[in-house]
Each structure stands twice: as C-alpha cells, then as structure tokens.
Structure 1
Amino acid sequence: MTGALEGLRVLDLSRFIAGPYCAMLLGDLGADVVKAEKPGTGEEARLMRPRAGDESFYLLAFNRNKRGITVDFRDEGDQRLLARLAERADVLVENFRPGTLEKMGLAPDELLRRNPGLIVARCSGFGQDGPQAGRTGFDAIAQAESGLMSISGEPGDKPMLSGTFMVDYSAGMQLTIGVLAALADRRRTGRGQVVDVALLDTAFSLMMTSATEYLMRGEETGQVGNRDRYGAPGNTYRSADGWVHVVGGSDAHFPRLLTAMGRPELADDPRFRALEDRLANRDAIDAIVGEWTAGLSCDKLVAVLEAAGVPCGRVNGVAGAVGHPQLRHREMVAEVEHPALGPVPLPGVTVKLSRTPGAVRLPPPRLGEHTDEVLADWLEG
C-alpha cells in the first residue's frame, strides 16, 4: 500500500513546531518531504533540550518522514538553488517572519510565476498582513493575546498557559488543511496559491463559544478550572488512588450519575432538579460527588460510571497514556529506527485511511544527510 500523498513533493523551509508539524503530517500521508536547514548547526530546534544523545526531542518529534538537505539561506547561490527546487515542488512550507521569504528572492508571486501550480504554505505569529504582521509570535504569545489564556486556570488565579503547545499544533493542522484544500482546487484549475495561517488567528479560533458569548452578550467567560462550563456536575474529582474526570451535568447524564452513586433522591433536591439549578449550586453538587469518588479507586469508579452510561476517564500521567490499551491498539505509539539512537518511539499517525494508510517510514534526517540524493532526484530526474 502507498500513502495517499505519494508523488507529492514538499519543500520544508520551516523551523521549530508549527511549520515542521505541517510538513511532517504531509510526510506521514506519503509525500516526499525535503527539509532544508542551514549548514553547521541546522535549524534552531536541533540545539534545544531535552535531548537523547546528540539529538533534540524537538527535532525527533516534528521531523520524521523527511529527507534533509543543507543550504545557506543568506547566500545568493543557495537562494537560487531553493528557487529551482521550488520549481519542482508541489508545496513549499515556511514560517519565517513575514517579509523574510521576499528578502531571500523567493517572493510567492515570483515563485508562482515560475511554478504556477505551487502551493506556498506560510505560517507566522500574526499573519502576512495587518498592522502587527511584523511582530515575532510564539505559541504562548498567541495564547495570551487571543484571550485563550484568560479562560484557562482556576477562578481568581493567574491566567494559565496550556500544558502543551496547543496553538502551534493547531496552526500546523490548519496549515495542512489549507494545503489539502489548495491541492483540491489545483486539480480543478491547475493553479497554485498562498496559504496564510497565523498563530494568533488559530488561538482565537479555539475560543469559539467564549468569543460569541462576549460579542452577543458582552459577558466575559472567565476561568472555571476543570469544571464543565455549561453543565454541572462536570469536573475532575479525587479518587482513593488518583483522579477521575466525570461529565455528568446534562439532564440525560445526571440521573445516571445519581444511580451510580446510590443517591437517586438527589433528583428531587430543588438545588439540582434542572441544569440551571445545578449550575447555580456547582459547589454543593461537586462536594457531594467528590465525597463519593474519594472512597473508590480509579478503576472502580470508571467501571461503575461506564456501566451506568456516564462519560468518565482516569486522569493519566504520561506513563499511563503511552501504555493505554486503546492507544496501543490504534497504533498511536510507533517506532522508527534511528541510525544513532536505535529504535525511537514516536506518536503514531492520527488519521486512519482504510486504503492508503499513513506510516512512520523515516527517522528525522541527520543534518544534510540527503543533499546529494535530493538534488539528483528533484533537479536531475
């Protein structure tokens, strides 16, 4: 079986997370992805910690299924080489500060003139236009300025940053969606185009109901910790040996939760009869549920709640997640053979295609490992 994107050529000029993640996803689905890095040190992520031997986990995590070349982005000769590679590419991915690609002589208009079918996928902190387009942007800055950080954390506490680079990952996925949409349009028209994704836009898109609620009602969502914003009870509760998250706040789930708890009489308590009543008395219902969960193990709680039809889940640490039987069955822990490290475990391919499944085929490239091979394939073939 071959990948769905087999034969697609992707020139990856990006660094850090969002851009490399997009190019990696295309590689997972079968594209021939060529990662271009500066000579000597390579992209900045190669120098970041944590590390396994001489390899950064950042590089390992976001650069599988790619071949690697080295080019000096500031050298006019190498800039011309990149332009020649772009002529043979289907997709070019970059996440420089806006204007940098143009300074390299690789303005999208010129690239599209030379290769009318090229998809130029651009990711930046604040977008390619607008009054703040030139600002440097990172995941945390986007979380802060989009409002996303303000609705995360416990009530009254300082705004909370997500525990992972959720905006970078989401922007990488948005960029991938844009590339696939542009490729679909190219099949009809034969023409490429520019895909422009910003971290700030991506973070704001994750606000969803919070943004709409403010725009329509003028009400700030605020912080609710781990509580369900629109249902009660719905929270993370301590068990006898850990934590379990329970979603039991809807009018359909609440009676089932009471049955599982052995407290059916609470359905007639005026504080809890309807959803609005429970939302007004969150603290009271949370205390009752928390007292019950504290007396049972995580395994017992999950078993009892699932039997009753109440959505729930053990709060796993990383060890519990990588050993999760469902994730293992779904092949979400994959291995690739690295020339220096041996078998390297990585998250698997998320999108499951029945006829042309994606796969982890190649380890992240060593710096410049495939330069001669790629130049022969792309420019001489």
Structure 2
Amino acid sequence: MKTESGGALSGIRVIDASRVLGGPIAGQILGDHGAEVIKVEGPAGDDTRQWGPPYLGRNSAYFSGANRNKKGVTLDLASETGRSRFFAMLETADVLIENFKESTLKKWGIDVSGFTERFPRLVHCRVSGFGSTGPYGGLPAYDTAMQALCGLMSVNGDHSTGPLRVGLPIVDMTTGLNAVIGVLLALQNRERTGMGQLVETTLYANALSMLHPHAPNYFATGRCPAPTGNAHPNIYPYDSYPTANGHIYLAVGNDAQFGLFCRRLGLDELPSDPRFSTNPSRSVNRAALKALLEAALKPEDGRSLALELMRIGVPCAPVNTVEDALCDPHTRHAGLVVELEDEYKGLASPISLSRTPATYRHAPPALAAIEKEEA
C-alpha cells in the first residue's frame, strides 16, 4: 500500500506552550504524526531541560524524551511584546497546548475559555493538575503527588514495602495520551461545525481513571483494596516467579491456559483439583497454588520457558531490565528505537498507520535565543 510522507496530521499547526511532561508528550505525539509543532518557551526554558544528567546532545535526556519533531521559539510572555507575538502565532494555529497557572492567565486578563473566544476555530488543549474549579482547583500538581493522592501508590508494592510509586511517570504519560485523544475529537468536531473548543484533561482525573480493577472491586464490595505486590487481585496465577536464571511473569487468564501451563510443567493433577480448577478457586487459594508453582519453576531456565509457554498459548515473559527490553530482537524488528542527528535516540511512536505512518524529522530543539523586544 502506498504511503503518504506528510503524516495523518499534515497541515495541522500546533503551538505547544506547555512544559514538563503531560503537555509536551501530547505535542510530540501530534508532531510524530505530521503536525507542525512549535514549542514556545520562556527565557529560562522548559524546567526539564535541567533535569539531568544524563544528557542527549545539548538537552537533558528527560527533555529529549518528550520534545522531538518540534521547532523552538523563545518568548517572554511576561512582557506585552512577547504576548503580542504569541497571540499572533495563534492566529494561524489549529491547536494550542498549554499548562499555564491560573494566576498567570488572570494576570494576562484571560479566563480558561478566553483563547477559544478570541480564536473561534482554535482547539485549546489545557493540561492542569486539578482543573480550575472545586476544592483543589488551580492548585499545583506533579505526577507522584497524584499517584499518592489518587490511590495508585496504595495498591502498588506489598505489605513489606508499604505504598510505592509506579517507577515511571504514568500519570503524566496518560494525561498526555488523553490530551491527544481530546484534541483529535475536537478537530473531528471542527470538521463538521467549523468551531474549535476547550479540551481539558487533568492529572487528577487521569490518575483516578487508572484505578482498574481496584475501583470496580471497591464499588462491588465496599472493601478498600490492599496492595498485592506483583500479583493480580482478580486472576491467578498472574504473578512473578523465580527460576534458575531470573524471574518470569506468568499471566494465565483462563482455565484453558492453566491446563496448558500445568501440562508443560508436569503438574497434570492441578487442573482437576477443586482448589485450582477455575479462576475463582485459584484466586481464593492462591497461597497454596503459589507454593506449588514456585517449587516447580525454581529449576527451570526462565527465559527459555517463557518463550516456550508463549508459543503454546500461555502468556508469559521474562522479567527484563530496561536494557534487555530496548535491545530485544523484537524491538529492533518493529523499529521501536529512533535515531536522529545531534546524538538523538528515542522511542518510536507505538501507533502504526498503513498509509500515513509516523515520521521523525527533528531532534528536540535547543533553547532558542529570545526574540528581542522592540525599542
């Protein structure tokens, strides 16, 4: 099938005036798929430019991970001239992504809906901690604080560790993904109506949205979920196990998979044992089952076993390091690592489109010299 080099969002112009991660990752996704993205920074630049070492070329590795396929402009938005230039850029923009403080917008004489009132076709994507109203409206927020506030930390870890943060900025990342979904929905609506709109997504809402299956379990039982470590609260065996050469993760989702797994390990009696014959019984009797499986798995070559189990239809994987995952042959086969000029290396878009694939055109921009004020 013939591909188009411009990308699915070719012709869409995005002003990315956000900083840190939630907004910038949204801008990067739009840029990967063909949008022209202009990153607007203040004189000091995005905070994450200083979030190093390590560095990739001139930028911190952290900044580089969320800002490719963008052109850079530096404006002093605290000045009248800087704001005038910024608003001039919005005249030709399709999308604005920003995470300005409420106090900053008020200082400029703008309420949250002010951008779309001034530019009716603009899709204004606002990323914030809590939104502008409510008990926490307008307050600052960072990823890990949201993990704590919204219960994610309480179900991560186990009784020996206490609450743990997820080891990556999952709230910021999902906020960026939902920001993109909102922008695309608003652009589709604009095709029909000719009107832009305000798209708002908050770290708080995104953190709560990830509480599956813990929230539905709570709604069903009224019992507050407890941490289960690597084990799934509803399914078993869905847990990590030590082997002769490292841990594997076994993800058995149904009775047929459990039967295949037991036959491979020579545990043919387990599927007919009333304690383990169905998922509900296995989940209730997980401590006894875990002890049996740990004994059977301990002498196995974990990596070979995991691949063998996958091939016979049992979801399983070795517990890899980040280096293992990035160097995995399937990662190379799928083209999931991108290399560009300026020593840039990053992760490719996970979205595969047959006619309009993602393209990687620009390394993350260096902080541009600020445009001089007119005398």
Asked if TM exceeds 0.5, the reply is: yes
Aligned residue for 2:340, secondary structure, equals strand
Looking at structure 2, the residues matched to 114 and 247 of structure 1 have their Cα atoms a distance apart, in angstroms, of 52
Within-5 A mapping of 1:5-44: 5-39=9-43, 41-44=44-47
Kindly provide the CA deviation profile for residues 47-88 of structure 1, in whole angstroms up to 9, marking residues without a partner as x. 111232642112111110000011012111111111111121
Gaps of 5+ in 2: none
Kindly provide the CA deviation profile for residues 278-337 of structure 1, in whole angstroms up to 9, marking residues without a partner as x. 222211111221122221112321133124321101111011111112222211101111
Looking at structure 2, the residues matched to 139 and 85 of structure 1 have their Cα atoms a distance apart, in angstroms, of 30
Aligned residue for 1:92, secondary structure, equals strand
Q: 2:49 aligns with which of 46, 59, 78?
A: 46
CA contact (8 A) 2:59 2:366 kept: no
Within-5 A mapping of 1:210-221: 210-221=214-225
Residues 21, 371 of structure 1: alpha-carbon distance in 2 compared, 3 angstrom cutoff: farther
Corresponding residue of 2:310: 306
Corresponding residue of 1:377: none
CA contact (8 A) 2:75 2:370 kept: no
Corresponding residue of 1:295: 299
Residues 69, 323 of structure 1: alpha-carbon distance in 2 compared, 3 angstrom cutoff: same
Moved more, 298-307 or 230-239: 298-307
CA contact (8 A) 1:259 1:308 kept: no
CA contact (8 A) 1:49 1:56 kept: yes
Within-5 A mapping of 1:318-329: 318-329=322-333
Looking at structure 2, the residues matched to 281 and 113 of structure 1 have their Cα atoms a distance apart, in angstroms, of 59
Looking at structure 1, the residues matched to 213 and 224 of structure 2 have their Cα atoms a distance apart, in angstroms, of 11
Aligned residue for 2:49, secondary structure, equals helix
Looking at structure 2, the residues matched to 243 and 117 of structure 1 have their Cα atoms a distance apart, in angstroms, of 53
Corresponding residue of 2:196: 192
Corresponding residue of 2:367: 367
Looking at structure 1, the residues matched to 175 and 142 of structure 2 have their Cα atoms a distance apart, in angstroms, of 11
Deviation, structure 1 residue 369: 6.5
Looking at structure 1, the residues matched to 244 and 125 of structure 2 have their Cα atoms a distance apart, in angstroms, of 50
Gaps of 5+ in 1: 373-381
Kindly provide the CA deviation profile for residues 186-243 of structure 1, in whole angstroms up to 9, marking residues without a partner as x. 0000001111110010010001332122223212221111112212112111111111
Q: How many residues align?
A: 367
CA contact (8 A) 1:73 1:104 kept: no
Residue type of the partner of 1:192?
A: G
Please give the root-mean-square deviation of Cα atoms over the aligned residues, in Å: 1.8
Deviation, structure 1 residue 91: 0.5
CA contact (8 A) 2:68 2:362 kept: yes
Kindly provide the CA deviation profile for residues 108-145 of structure 1, in whole angstroms up to 9, marking residues without a partner as x. 54422332100110011111222211211011111111
Corresponding residue of 2:264: 260
Kindly provide the CA deviation profile for residues 134-158 of structure 1, in whole angstroms up to 9, marking residues without a partner as x. 2110111111111111111113531
Please list every run of at least 4 consecutive aligned residues from structure 1 whose deviation after the TM superposition is greater than 6 angstroms: 369-372
Looking at structure 1, the residues matched to 156 and 320 of structure 2 have their Cα atoms a distance apart, in angstroms, of 20
Corresponding residue of 2:356: 356
Aligned residue for 2:65, secondary structure, equals helix
TM-score (norm 1): 0.92
Moved more, 22-31 or 97-106: 97-106
Looking at structure 2, the residues matched to 143 and 350 of structure 1 have their Cα atoms a distance apart, in angstroms, of 24
Find out whether 1:57 has 2:69 as its counterpart.
no
